[in-house]
Amino acid sequence: MHCGLCLPTCPTYAETGRERNSPRGRIALMRAVADGELETTPVFADEMSYCLGCLACTTACPAGVDYATLLETARTQAEQSGAVSSPKRSFVRWLTLRFLFIHPRALRLAGRVLWFWQASGLQTLVRRSKLTALLPRRLRELELQTPRIARHFSDGLIARVEYSKPFSAENAEDAKMNSSALSASSAVDPKHRYRVAVLTGCVQDLIFSDVNRATVDVLRANGCEVVTPRAQFCCGSLHAHNGDLETARALARRQLDAIDPDQFDAIISNAAGCGSHLKHYDRLLAEDAGYAERAAAWSRKVRDISEWLVKIGFRKPVVQSRESRAVTYHEACHLCHGQKISSQPREILRAIPGIDLRECAEAMWCCGSAGIYNLTQPRTAAWLLQRKLGHLLATGAEVVAAANPGCQLQLENGFRAADKAVMVVHPVVLLARAYAAEARKM
């Protein structure tokens, strides 16, 4: 396909206007390498890295070109060729992709150390004393983007099994998304309609464990028995998106060993990037005789939380909560483009009493987070962030709803740097708070 309908939707092409920075241009480079007409050079590797992987081109493509698979394969080729290899780069990739993100306890230990650094006041002291000025410029910039680690991770907030339980006065405290939820987890409602597993993620677990707690609360309020396996493994999306398909496959096998899809009506994800990858385990393990069948069953069961709630006909709250305010919705790329889920989060937001949902321009454009893109391509990420913030602020909304942890962090950092008091929150958290408001009224 050479029609070029993808060009106006591509952020990097919009920034540079160069054909090589467009999906069509990148596919031409991929074909040249595949046909042996071009070597896997540093220029090729850099171009594949410069792509956001936002998949806006797949939404625009009338031929249904599977750009996601092409990009992952091209990045893997670039990594395996060693075109951009260096001792520093190899160490960073080993430490993150091959160590922290494949050992959940090590990742949580690192998170706990960082939490202590922040909660003890040491981070504030170091910043106020200007000691960060001693760091190289890039490290100073990264330090300012350090996310706040949650005091409690998901396993400390959510019991392994929690049963369906309507929100009522007696369990109102359970909706506050803290460790008190464990005390109510043994309440059994034999009338639960569904049995689901909840995936807690990596970044979501360390930084936004409240989103996981809210997810479980909302599922319980809608007739679901919820199973949340302990110390879950990374889903492998970071690895697949960054050219390490071998590790991505190993992590997919671990997930399938830990969670049997045949035991559940659905496997729930609340992170757009993870969900998009999780739904393609069938493709990832298609040639693995020992896992292909289970991977296909898994892919059929994975659902984004908004997708699942709308599918089962979620209960609409009837009490207006104190969260009543103007809200706008930012569409995470891997939710709207990767999973083709766009209307469902809006349906949830519109169902919450007191919320004035305001659409923003270019809602489906990338915010610049794109996994680790804001770390590897800070200039383009910053340009995209400012473009996105302008549209969000133009709505006059006090709250931005976003269904991906990377987007949430990117937007929070952007609003903080711009000194704008705008809250960024997952749609399911707003729904959980609305249910909690009902409980307080009863």
- d(C-alpha 72, C-alpha 64), whole Å: 17
Is the separation of the CB atoms in 392 and 364 below 8 Å? no
The answer to whether 252 and 246 are in contact (CB under 8 A) is no
Helices 67-81, 245-258: crossing angle, 10 deg rounding = 120
Residue 252 has what pLDDT? 97
Higher pLDDT, 185 or 139: 139
What integer best gives the mean pLDDT of the chain?
91
pLDDT for res 324? 65
pLDDT of residue 91: 93
User: Which DSSP category does 97 fall into?
Assistant: I
Class of domain 325-441: alpha beta
Residue 177 predicted with pLDDT over 50? no
Q: How far is CA 218 from CA 172, 240, 315, 348, 436, in A?
A: 13, 30, 9, 11, 10
The residue that leads in pLDDT, 145 or 42, is 42
Q: Among residues of the chain, what percentage have pLDDT more than 90?
A: 82
pLDDT for 138: 78
Give the mean model confidence (pLDDT) for residues 157-185: 57
Region 256-264 average pLDDT: 96
Q: Give me the residue spans of the domains in the chain.
A: 7-81, 87-144, 325-441
pLDDT tens string 381-395: 999 999 999 999 999
Tens-digit pLDDT profile for residues 198-240: 999 999 999 999 999 999 999 999 999 999 999 899 999 999 9
Among 67, 11, 72, CA closest to 284: 72
Q: How confident is the model at residue 142 (pLDDT cuts 50, 70, 90)?
A: confident
Pick from 277-286, 321-330, 340-349, 355-364: least confident: 321-330
Displacement of CA 330 from its chain's centroid (Å):
13
Higher pLDDT, 139 or 246: 246
Question: Is the confidence at residue 416, as pLDDT, over 60?
Answer: yes
Which helix (DSSP H) or strand (DSSP E) does residue 168 occupy?
A: none
Q: What is the pLDDT of residue 321?
A: 62
Contact 268, 403 (CB under 8 A): no
When pLDDT is cut at 50, 70 and 90, the band that residue 20 belongs to is very high
Round to whole Å and give the CA distance between 204 and 200.
6
For residue 323, what pLDDT is reported? 55
Q: Which of 369, 313, 373, 303 is nearest to 339 (CA)?
A: 303
Q: Pick from 53, 52, 49, 36: which is nearest to 83 by CA?
A: 49
Poorest-pLDDT segment among 58-67, 138-147, 285-294, 344-353: 138-147
The closest of 237, 247, 436, 435 to 339, measured between CA atoms, is: 237
**Cα gap 49→373, rounded to integer Å:** 8
Q: What is the pLDDT of residue 303?
A: 98
Predicted local confidence at residue 322, as pLDDT: 62
Model confidence at 184: pLDDT above 80: no
Q: Above 60 in pLDDT, residue 182? A: no
E strands, 46-133, are none
User: What pTM, to 2 d.p., does this model score?
Assistant: 0.90
340 pLDDT higher than 70: yes
| Rounded (to 5) percent helix, strand, coil in the chain | 55, 10, 35
